Amino acid sequence: MSSPKLQLYYFDACPYCQMVLEVIEELNINVELCDIRADQRHLNKLVTDTGRRTVPCLYIDGQPMHESAEIARWLKANAAKLPKNS
């Protein structure tokens, strides 16, 4: 089984995003970061897909997951099978 593709839609000033980013760093997980304030295309995709502007939103193989605590729990529970940074 291959590792899932992970994309985090976020912006830096969001404290909930920072919590998720800390977990990603702590676990050394390779996640594509999509800053919705730096690139309008990221915001447009988030709103189109979910109908919300709410971040953080972790896409797992194209499926969005909201809520920072839920994202952090999922990352920790699945850390062993997630792609690592080199």
- Sheet hosting strand 57-60, strand order edge to edge: 32-35, 6-10, 57-60, 63-66
**16-29 pLDDT tens trace:** 999 999 999 999 99
What is the CATH code for 6-81?
3.40.30.10
**50-60 pLDDT tens trace:** 999 999 999 99
Q: What confidence category does residue 3 fall into, taking pLDDT thresholds of 50, 70 and 90?
A: confident
Half-sphere exposure of 29 (CA within 13 A, CB side): 29
With left for phi above 0 and alpha for psi between -120 and 50, is residue 81 left, alpha or beta? Answer: alpha
